[in-house]
């Protein structure tokens, strides 16, 4: 314990008496990596300051939303202005329409959108909509993909297609999982088998196209092509969970990247969150009019929310989207992110540490493995103890990455070349320690 960490320790002790595990979302508690979470006092640009006033270069970015960096002046101005006009009305506002128009203009697969307050709510509602629109119950999800914490999504694969998955949380009755099929990511044969067995019962297939919840693993183009083909052939909806990738990997989301490779490609429904709220609670789902009009009050699929389309959150999201639409924004962000990833690879290679890394837009992942994994089982081969040494080595040097090896990382437009260089230099020192 260094004297520097004392205030974080005191706050964490106080927190544990008040809040289960001391945190309001489990990963924040540092359980996977050990040690004391840093309590954040403030943030600016690429940096966070903890309770002791220690500064960190931030690669978590609130788990994705902070693509412009923290406390961006144009975003803060929009939020302040909106707040002065009232915090919540529970009635429609013009700003919701502006945000809807902005998003629909950038994602051509969507003709209509519904705004909600969290990615969990958006994914859960998209699946309900898919079920309501198709009149079917079953759906496919993939091992290692996270779509929020709705009951039917908290499930890991059984021992094969014939056995049901098991809940990853207490409090989820097995009956709730009976319609969830959990498949291996990037496994075309298993996907074909699942459709052969259950095609006519499937409401949808939900997927993170570039998975950010098993570090960073891309769905291969042939796999995605097959997902699209099989969904179309069997009348199931292809649901893209772009809560993480939307407006993060490219202005048109991951779907725009697959559309470059697969002519005419588009998902049926898209789930969004994180960047579209710019750091405020805001998420959404959308798709073609014919599907979306199944939602209440137009249709019979119920969905609602007291704070949905909140005026301050929509102002924050709008201001954020307007910044990232600037010409050259994504090219610069992607170049900076690539510089980080290449720097880490170079530093690891110089110290003989096996590391491979990948990035797309402002999202990156790295593994202490000789080659990039293609599915969750391969991700699990990572050495957790080594990752934890890396994590703490970086933290001690003022660099904050996600406190779990299953999380992707995020670079913002506020990260400077100097921030990246400092990060690579810090990582180089830690790799030297790891190689001993």
Q: Which residues sit at the interface with ligand PLP, rule CB under 6 A?
A: 63, 118-120, 123, 146-148, 208, 212-213, 241, 243-244, 273, 283
Query: Which of 59, 141, 185, 241 is the catalytic position?
Result: 241
- Closest approach of ligand PLP to the CB of residue 65, in Å: 9
By C-beta, is 271 or 348 nearer to ligand PLP? 271
Catalytic annotation present for 146:
yes
By C-beta, is 117 or 388 nearer to ligand PLP? 117
By C-beta, is 132 or 273 nearer to ligand PLP? 273
User: What residue is closest to ligand PLP based on CB?
Assistant: 119
Query: Which of 138, 141, 266, 274 is the catalytic position?
Result: 274
- Closest approach of ligand PLP to the CB of residue 1, in Å: 31
By C-beta, is 241 or 268 nearer to ligand PLP? 241
Query: Which of 146, 185, 258, 376 is the catalytic position?
Result: 146
By C-beta, is 146 or 247 nearer to ligand PLP? 146
- Closest approach of ligand PLP to the CB of residue 218, in Å: 14
Catalytic annotation present for 274:
yes
Reduced 3-state DSSP string for the chain:
CCHHHHHHHHHHHHHHHHCHHHCCCHHHHCCCCCCCCCCEEEEEECEEEECCCCEEEECCHHHCCCCCCECCHHHHHHHHHHHHCCCCCCCCCHHHHHHHHHHHHHCCCCCEEEEECCHHHHHHHHHHHHHHHHCCCEEEEECCCCCCCCHHHCEECCCCCCCCCEECCCCCCHHHHCCEEEECCCCHHHHHHHHHHHHHHEEEEEECCEECCCCCEECCHHHHHHHHHHHHHHCCEEEEECCCCECCCECCHHHHHHHHHCCCCCCCEEEECHHHHECECCEEEEECHHHHCCECCCCCECCCCCCCCCHHHHHHHHHHHHHHCCCCHHHHHHHHHHHHHHHHHHHHHHCCCCCEEEEECCEEEEECCCCCCCCHHHHCCCCHHHHHHHHHHHHHCCEECCCCCCCCEECCCCCCHHHHHHHHHHHHHHHHHHHC
Active site positions, annotated: 146, 241, 274
């Amino acid at each position: 314990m260094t004297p520097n960490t004392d205030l974080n320790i005191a706050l964490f002790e106080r927190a544990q008496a008040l809040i289960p595990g001391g945190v309001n979302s489990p990963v924040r508690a540092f359980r996977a990596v050990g040690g004391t979470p840093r309590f954040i006092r403030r943030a600016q640009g690429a940096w966070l300051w903890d309770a002791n006033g220690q500064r960190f270069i931030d690669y978590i970015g609130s788990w994705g939303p902070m693509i412009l960096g923290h406390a961006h002046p144009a975003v803060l101005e929009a939020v302040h202005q909106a707040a002065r006009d009232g915090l919540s009305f529970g009635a429609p506002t013009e700003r919701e329409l502006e945000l809807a128009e902005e998003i629909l203009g950038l994602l051509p697969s969507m003709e209509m959108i519904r705004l909600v307050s969290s990615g969990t709510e958006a994914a859960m509602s998209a699946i309900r909509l898919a079920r309501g629109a198709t009149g079917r119950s079953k759906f496919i999800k993939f091992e290692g993909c996270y779509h929020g914490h709705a009951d039917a999504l908290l499930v890991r694969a059984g021992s094969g297609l014939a056995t049901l998955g098991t809940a990853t949380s207490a409090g989820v009755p097995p009956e709730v999982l009976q319609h969830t099929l959990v498949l291996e990511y990037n496994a075309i044969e298993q996907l074909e088998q699942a459709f052969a067995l259950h095609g006519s019962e499937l409401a949808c297939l939900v997927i993170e196209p570039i998975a950010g919840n098993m570090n960073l693993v891309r769905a291969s183009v042939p796999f995605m092509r097959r997902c699209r083909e099989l969904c179309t052939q069997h009348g199931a909806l292809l649901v893209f969970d772009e809560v993480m990738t939307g407006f993060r990997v490219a202005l048109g989301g991951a779907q725009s990247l697959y559309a470059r490779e697969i002519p005419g490609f588009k998902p049926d429904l898209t789930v969004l969150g994180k960047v579209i709220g710019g750091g405020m609670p805001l998420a959404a789902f959308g798709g073609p009019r014919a599907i979306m009009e199944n939602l209440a009050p137009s249709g019979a699929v119920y969905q609602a929310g007291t704070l949905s389309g909140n005026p301050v959150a929509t102002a924050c999201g709008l201001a954020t989207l307007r910044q990232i639409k600037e010409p050259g924004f994504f090219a610069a962000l992607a170049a900076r992110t690539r510089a980080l990833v290449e720097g880490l690879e170079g530093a690891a290679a110089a110290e003989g540490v096996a590391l491979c890394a990948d990035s797309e837009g402002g999202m990156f992942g790295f593994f202490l493995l000789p080659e990039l994994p293609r599915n969750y089982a391969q991700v699990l081969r990572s050495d957790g103890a080594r990752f934890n040494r890396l994590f703490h080595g970086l933290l001690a040097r003022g660099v904050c990455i996600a406190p779990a090896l299953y999380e992707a990382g995020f670079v913002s437009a506020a990260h400077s070349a100097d921030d990246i260089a400092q990060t690579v230099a810090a990582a180089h020192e830690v790799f030297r320690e790891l190689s001993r």
